[in-house]
Structure 1
């Protein structure tokens, strides 16, 4: 099995679904969250849009140290800007996979904050983790949209809003 080819296929398949979800976000609800402990919709959406670029991070680096690299979320004014971030992130992830070699998949990859290791695995597992994060946060966005009474697209089959049996 060609793992890198499978990653590229999965990236493009997930992109179709993610794009559908991002397009549905009401711009007037960017500052909305379903609960005081929940992330605001804009922050969640930007995070989802940036997730494909985690693949390039996994391929091109051996670690991410939050103590040395403070994260600053890209502000967006509208869905067009949000989708632009997503498309650039998708391109970065796809291009990184083009540069990846099978032998590199088993190399160590670490997420840390200074000396505190938050997560440790291989480049393979970090790429898998980025796909899992996409599914997880897209589902979270689906809950936000549902609570706003916005019909939800299916991710891996029809949603309750798409049932046409």
Structure 2
């Protein structure tokens, strides 16, 4: 099995669903949040849009330290910016996968905030983590959209909206 090819295929498949979901985010509700502890719709959608670029960090770096200040969320001012961010992030992440060799997959990789380690894994593990984060936060986005009474697309089959339910 060619694991890099499998990762690329998975990333491409998830991108189709993610882009459909991001295309539904209403700019007029960017500041909306379902709960005081929740991100705003804009924050969540921006995060979903930028996660594919984390594959670049996984491939080109051996760690991400949030306290070092090198990571900053991308600015998004409107719906066009959001979709452009996703497209750029996907292309960057997909291109990074092309640079990843099988021999690099077990290279140690760490996500931290200074001395606090959030994730201690490998480059392969970080790529998979980026995919898992996309799926997790995309599901959150689906709930946000549902609460705004926006019909959502299916992810791994038809949604209730697509089934007429």
TM-score w.r.t. length of structure 2: 0.96
The answer for the alignment partner of 2:152 in structure 1 is 152
Q: Which runs of structure 1 show a deviation greater than 3 angstroms over 4 or more consecutive aligned residues? A: none
Please tell me whether residue 44 in structure 1 is matched to residue 52 in structure 2: no
Within-5 A mapping of 1:8-87: 8-87=8-87
Alpha-carbon separation, structure 1, partners of 2:154 and 2:116: 38
Deviation at 1:71, TM superposition (A): 3.6
CA RMSD of aligned residues (A): 1.3
Alignment of 1:81-160 (within 5 A): 81-160=81-160
Unaligned runs of 5+ in 1: none
Q: Secondary structure at the match of 1:51?
A: helix
CA distance in 1, matches of 2:65, 2:38: 25
Query: Between Structure 1 and Structure 2, how many residues are aligned?
Result: 165
Cα distance, 1:35–1:164 mapped onto 2, change above 3 Å? closer
TM-score where L is the length of structure 1: 0.96
Structure 2, gaps ≥5 residues long:
none
